[in-house]
């Protein structure tokens, strides 16, 4: 039925609070809905795919969306990118990754400092851009890296590239990963290099994520074992610690990610293309910038039109998200939300309602069935819905 599956994750583009959102302090979060309530969204391509059927984005709903549409609930505890992407590929966590709302325990920091031979500053929950503005000058003066975390299970290390060379920053992060990742089960250690002068610091594209290996078998593992090509675009490779991802193209921003995707659609003959567009989250969600977020949605939409035109007869394009990050709430953290799932391709019948899926793993199960590498332990495939109506169209 499908020779290629192209999955685009719009990082943090949530479609409304999950029933358990209050447990996470996210009651009332609705990334798409709350943005649309403030800024009328001009996103005709996404609307044509039925986004207005699964998210409260206003306007008259599309009479017959041109593909299949639905939303997915996250079954794993948590609301970070690792959890979301792992679940999409078939891993449902029993326990959330550990988080540190008061910073890391002093003994952990002391051991980290001992191992890297330097003191550190920070050790607080902070926004990455705010903390380099606040502590960047002290870092330059002392040579001590800035350690910080967020509502996610992350140990982030910010340092100026002129103070600690990038290779040394990566070594420091590898040391941290051994200590808090492998040692304590923290989901990710992230290198956050920056440059510039006090008052004008900017983060560079040399960010690097050190993630735990998935705890269970993923669809990517199965595809790899069956010699089905997998190409990851953006931070996807990092989120799976590189496992079962033979080919990966990294990007500095969404524009570059979109260019990579266009190139992949021209060059990759079969298999899975798995892309993440991170600017929604890093540039706008975490910075509580609804108008920037809206503009990025419109930018993606303008680019989506040509992509839809590029789809081959045996392509399946799926657009989804990994969690929410409502820029209109006081919190600058991710939010516990449903995510849209929009599926389209020449062979996908119009107007198929996929409903509310009980886990992101339904997507992985569908991919596994398409490439005959399933069934996976979790999730229910919706492939039948994508093909059984085909004779009506």
CA dist 77 and 387 (Å) reads 32
pLDDT given at position 337: 98
180 and 45 inside one domain: no
314 and 329 inside one domain: yes
359 and 224 inside one domain: yes
What's the CATH number where 366 sits?
Answer: 3.40.720.10
259 and 369 inside one domain: yes
246 and 133 inside one domain: no
281 and 379 inside one domain: yes
What's the CATH number where 132 sits?
Answer: 3.30.70.1250
Tell whether 100 is covered by a domain: no
What SS3 state is found at 254? helix
CA dist 61 and 49 (Å) reads 11
DSSP state of 144: P
49 and 114 inside one domain: no
Q: Any idea what the Cα angle at residue 52 is, between residues 50 and 56, rounded to 5°?
A: 150
Burial class (CB in 10 A: 0-12, 13-18, 19+), 296: buried
Domain count, the chain: 2
Beta bridge partners of 352: 68
Of 164, 184, 208, which closes a domain? 208
Cis peptide before 358 (omega within 30 of 0): no
170 and 203 inside one domain: yes
32 and 112 inside one domain: no
Q: Over its length of 393 residues, how does the chain's per-residue pLDDT go in tens digits? A: 999 999 999 999 999 999 999 999 999 999 999 999 999 999 999 999 999 999 999 988 888 999 999 999 999 999 999 999 999 999 999 999 999 999 999 999 999 999 999 999 999 999 888 999 999 999 999 999 999 999 889 999 999 999 999 999 999 999 999 999 999 999 999 999 999 999 999 999 899 999 999 999 999 999 999 999 999 999 999 999 999 999 999 998 999 999 999 999 999 999 999 999 999 999 999 999 999 999 999 999 999 999 999 999 999 999 999 999 999 999 989 999 999 999 999 999 999 999 999 999 999 999 999 999 999 999 999 999 998 754 443
Tell whether 101 is covered by a domain: no
Tell whether 88 is covered by a domain: yes
Tell whether 371 is covered by a domain: yes
* Six token digits for residue 167: 């290779």
Tell whether 381 is covered by a domain: yes
Of 185, 208, 231, which closes a domain? 208
* Six token digits for residue 281: 């989250």
Of 177, 208, 239, which closes a domain? 208
Phi, psi of 231 (to 5 degrees): -120, 125
Q: What is the pLDDT of residues 353-365, one digit of tens each?
A: 999 999 999 999 9
* Six token digits for residue 198: 């006090």
240 and 352 inside one domain: yes
Tell whether 99 is covered by a domain: no
Tell whether 98 is covered by a domain: no
Q: List Cβ neighbours of 345 (8 Å cut-off, separation of 6 or more).
A: 2, 67, 311, 314, 315, 316, 317
Q: List Cβ neighbours of 60 (8 Å cut-off, separation of 6 or more).
A: none
121 and 81 inside one domain: no
Residue-wise DSSP of 94-133: SSPPP--BTBS-HHHHHHHHHHHTS--EEEEE--HHHHHH
> Quick one: residue 244, left, alpha or beta (phi over 0 = left, psi -120 to 50 = alpha)?
left
Q: Nearest CA to 6 among 353, 374, 393, 342? A: 342
CA dist 153 and 26 (Å) reads 17
Phi, psi of 358 (to 5 degrees): -80, -10
CA dist 17 and 215 (Å) reads 27
CA dist 154 and 80 (Å) reads 10
End-to-end CA distance of the chain: 15
DSSP state of 62: P
Q: Any idea what the Cα angle at residue 271 is, between residues 270 and 277, rounded to 5°?
A: 115
Residue-wise DSSP of 360-381: THHHHHHHHHHTT----SS---
pLDDT given at position 389: 57
Q: Which domain holds residue 142?
A: 106-208
Tell whether 189 is covered by a domain: yes
Residue-wise DSSP of 150-215: -SSSEEEEEEETTTS-HHHHHHHHHHHIIIIIITT--SEEEEEEEEEETTEEEE-TT-EEEEPPPS
388 and 329 inside one domain: yes
């Amino acid at each position: 039925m499908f020779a290629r599956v192209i999955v685009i994750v719009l990082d943090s583009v949530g479609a409304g609070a999950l029933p358990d959102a209050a447990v996470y302090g996210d009651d009332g979060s609705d990334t798409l809905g709350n943005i649309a309530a403030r800024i009328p969204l001009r996103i005709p391509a996404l609307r044509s795919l039925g986004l207005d059927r699964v998210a409260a984005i206003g306007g008259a709903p599309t009479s017959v969306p041109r593909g299949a549409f639905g939303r997915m609930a996250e079954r794993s505890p948590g609301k970070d990118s690792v959890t979301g992407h792992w679940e999409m590929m078939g891993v449902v966590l029993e326990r959330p990754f550990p988080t540190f709302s008061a910073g890391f325990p002093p003994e952990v920091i002391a051991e980290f400092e001992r191992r890297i031979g330097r003191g550190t500053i920070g050790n607080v929950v902070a926004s990455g851009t705010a903390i380099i503005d606040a502590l960047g000058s002290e870092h330059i003066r002392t040579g001590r890296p800035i350690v910080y975390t967020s509502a996610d299970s992350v140990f982030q290390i910010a340092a100026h590239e002129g103070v600690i060379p990038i290779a040394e920053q990566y070594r420091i992060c590898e040391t941290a990963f051994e200590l808090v990742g492998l040692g304590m089960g923290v989901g990710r250690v992230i290198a956050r290099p920056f440059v510039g002068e006090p008052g004008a610091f900017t983060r560079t594209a040399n960010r690097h994520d050190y993630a735990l290996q998935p705890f269970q078998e993923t669809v990517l593992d199965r595809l790899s074992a069956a010699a089905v090509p997998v190409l990851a675009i953006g931070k996807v490779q990092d989120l799976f610690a590189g496992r079962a991802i033979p080919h990966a193209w990294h990007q500095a921003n969404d524009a570059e990610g979109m260019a990579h995707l266009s190139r992949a659609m021209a060059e990759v003959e079969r298999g899975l293309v798995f892309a993440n567009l991170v600017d929604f989250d890093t540039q706008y969600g975490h910075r509580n910038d609804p108008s920037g977020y809206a503009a990025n949605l419109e930018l993606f939409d303008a680019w989506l039109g040509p992509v839809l035109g590029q789809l081959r007869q045996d392509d399946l394009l799926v657009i989804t998200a990994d969690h929410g990050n409502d820029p209109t709430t006081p919190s600058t953290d991710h939010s516990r939300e449903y995510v849209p799932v929009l599926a389209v391709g020449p062979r996908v019948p119009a107007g198929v309602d996929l409903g509310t899926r009980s886990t992101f793993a339904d997507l992985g199960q569908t991919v596994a069935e398409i490439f005959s590498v399933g069934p996976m332990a979790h999730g229910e495939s919706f492939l039948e819905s994508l093909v059984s109506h085909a004779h009506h169209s």
